[in-house]
Amino acid sequence: MAAPPLLTLQDVALTFGGTPLIEGAGFSVAPGERTCLVGRNGSGKSTLMKIAAGLVEPDRGVRFVQPGTTIRYLAQEPDFSGFATTLEFVESGLGDGDAHHRARYLLESLGLDGSEDPTRLSGGEGRRVALAQALAPEPDVLLLDEPTNHLDLPAIEWLEAELKGTRAAMVLISHDRRFLSALSRATIWLDRGVTRRIEQGFSGFEAWRDAFFEEEERDRHKLERKINDEEHWLRYGVTARRKRNVRRLGNLHALRKERRDDRRPVGTVTMQAGEAEASGTLVMEAKNASKSYGERRIVADLSLRVMRGDRLGIVGANGAGKTTLINLLTGKLQADDGSVRQGTNLKMMLLDQARAVLEPSMTVTEVLTGGSGDAVVVNGVSRHVVGYLKDFLFTPEQARTPVSVLSGGERNRLLIARALAQPANLLVLDEPTNDLDLETLDLLQEMLGDYSGTLILVSHDRDFLDRVVGSVLVSEGEGRWVEYAGGYTDMVNQRGVGVQARAGAKGKAEARGKSEPRERADAAPAAKGKLNFKDQHELKTLPARMEKLQGVIAQLRTVLADPGLYARDAARFDKASAMLAQAETELSGAEERWLELEMLREG
């Protein structure tokens, strides 16, 4: 017999004036259940989560919690007021009988020591502290609203592993596809105020949702045909049989009401980048470039070529120097040693992660037009700002809305709308996926796929990197940056490890949680006939890594097999040749290491 739900919401409704935000929504959470809550920006996901946490009272509905159940809620914007240190804040979430050492363990695992002043935390540090408070008591139910926001890749992967090992039931809201797919076993979809549930994790949701929309569209067409038939009868087929006619006319009125009351899905974003005249073949080149701040090296002896049409991803832990690297490549900073040069006819558009261009007092229209008129020029065509805003799901009423009242997702959509209106042949996007819903991420991906210019993308979204970039530049520590062919997953397969946490200059505990560096192929062998756990894991994963490298090598050889490539694009030929040599060297080392471990295992 199935265990009763720990938390239940039934027939929940809430209206903030006008169209109901939530009507007839609900879900239940059984012990150990892993559920994700998905829906468009503005659909009410965070509000429904707050109702589940008992922080918001609905207009209608029932919330039931099994007696003795402990629930912890992770808010998007935690309140740290009244706490002197981060440890004090985390310990405030503990109850009688909870282990206090767990609060310090979680803070240290997330790169903090507990002595930090909560009022001086960055966005990423604040998110880590709030996560530690939610996880510390090991509750029965975890309600997590965008837990990966502002986290870097090492922290995201640590959190994913931590949540996989917890006994708590979970409800997750996130825009990170890979995070949701790894953790969810059921999906709750909040759409037009109503919840629908499927007993599949997020990986099966999108195909189900698309099929639902197709079926809904077919039903809408049937309704339209039926109304048309009845209206034709009303005009031409009325007879003297008055009772039947009255009943049929009543049915027509009911059908018309059904059509009026039908809440259609929110429209989709329409994205098109403003493209400038093509740049030169070489976009930028670094030769043995270095940049330091004091004793800390941010970039050390970097040699890199970015060619027209390249799609380069940049990844690294928070504090690795990704923004400094971008500023160096784009000419905003000068190298201490070596050189960096930009190609000809470059027109760059930078999407700033900090949203520095969005002054809170400016209206949405002023952001797009610079305060001059009501028109915006996109690809040489003048468009009224309201029409352009509709492409990004803004209503006409929001055209005069100040930026200060927009949600995080709306601000990011506005920033993208502003950026894409500018003609450019080089897009530099620093964390463009923050606060975007999954459908908007899909459309951003499609737009970038169609973009004919050059792209440099900084992101912690593993799935988005896999879908968009052609190579990844990774921080290897101590200012070293290495380029790998393919997306994020390809990079992990080639390196044997993902992005690692940066060791703090003051020896903070964030170094404790990071993975040990991968052993070199020429490292001293273990005692004969004995494989430790790490060796066993390496022996198990090496075949897949070698197979991946062989695929990369085959792709590069296909590119180089073009007899006219060198004459047409010598720089691309040189870059592909260098990447081929690197991949072949890595494959050779992996093969030697596999043979060494096999001999040890058999000995």
Query: Of 246-250, 392-396, 557-561, 591-595, which gets the smallest average pLDDT?
Result: 246-250
* Residue 587 dihedral angles phi and psi, to the nearest 5°: -65, -45
- Asked whether residue 548 is marked as a ligand-binding residue, the answer is no
Residue 218 has pLDDT above 90, yes or no: no
8 A C-beta contact, residue 265 and residue 193: no
Q: Looking at the domain 282-357+422-497, which fold is it?
A: Rossmann fold (3.40.50)
Residue 508, marked binder: no
Question: Could you tell me the residue ranges of all domains in the chain?
Answer: 7-207, 212-261, 282-357+422-497, 533-602
Which pLDDT belongs to residue 120?
A: 85
- Tell me whether residue 319 is annotated as binding: yes
Rounded to two decimals, what is the model's pTM? Answer: 0.68
Query: In angstroms, rounded to a whole number, what is the distance separating the alpha carbons of residues 214 and 408?
Result: 30
DSSP string, 401-436: -BGGGS-HHHHHHHHHHHHHTS-BSEEEEESTTTT-
Q: Among 404, 412, 518, which residue's Cα sits nearest to residue 461?
A: 412
What is the topology classification, in CATH, of domain 533-602?
Answer: Helix Hairpins (1.10.287)
CB of 475 closer than 8 Å to CB of 329: no
Q: Is 320 annotated as a binding residue?
A: yes
Question: Span 7-207: which CATH code?
Answer: 3.40.50.300
pLDDT category at 575 given cuts 50, 70, 90 is: confident
Residue 165 labeled ligand binder: no
Please tell me the distance from the alpha carbon of residue 374 to that of residue 370, in angstroms, as a whole number. Answer: 10
Residue 409 marked ligand-binding = no
User: Do residues 197 and 69 lie in contact, with contact meaning Cβ atoms separated by under 8 Å?
Assistant: no
| 528 is known to lie in a ligand binding site | no
Range list of β-strands (E), 106-201:
141-145, 169-173, 186-191, 194-198
d(CA 460, CA 470): 16
If we measure between CA atoms, which residue out of 188, 191, 216 comes closest to residue 202? 188
Is 43 among the annotated ligand-binding positions? yes
Question: Could you tell me the two tokens for 412?
Answer: 């990011």
Residue 322 annotated as part of some ligand binding site = yes
CA angle 222, 228, 233 (to 5 degrees): 130
Contact criterion met (CB below 8 Å) for 378 and 421 = yes
Query: Is there a binding annotation on residue 321?
Result: yes
Mean pLDDT over 479-496 rounds to 90
Identical fold for domains 7-207 and 282-357+422-497, yes or no, is yes
> What is residue 55's DSSP assignment?
S
Question: Is 42 known as a binding-site position?
Answer: yes
The pLDDT, as a whole number, for residue 259 is 56
The answer to whether 317 is annotated as binding is: yes
User: Which tens digits make up the pLDDT trace of 393-430?
Assistant: 787 888 888 888 777 777 878 888 887 787 888 989 88
Amino acid at 252: L
Q: Residue 187 in 3-state DSSP?
A: strand
Q: Which of 39-43, 141-145, 486-490 has the highest mean pLDDT?
A: 141-145
Q: Is the pLDDT of residue 330 over 80?
A: yes
Q: Per the annotation, does 291 bind a ligand? A: no
pLDDT tens readout for residues 228-265: 766 665 555 555 444 445 565 566 566 556 555 555 55
Give Cβ neighbours of residue 315 (< 8 Å, ≥ 6 apart): 153, 322, 458, 459, 460, 465, 472, 473, 474, 475, 488, 491, 499
Examine the pLDDT at 316 and tell me if it is beyond 60. Answer: yes
Flag whether 318 is marked binding.
Answer: yes
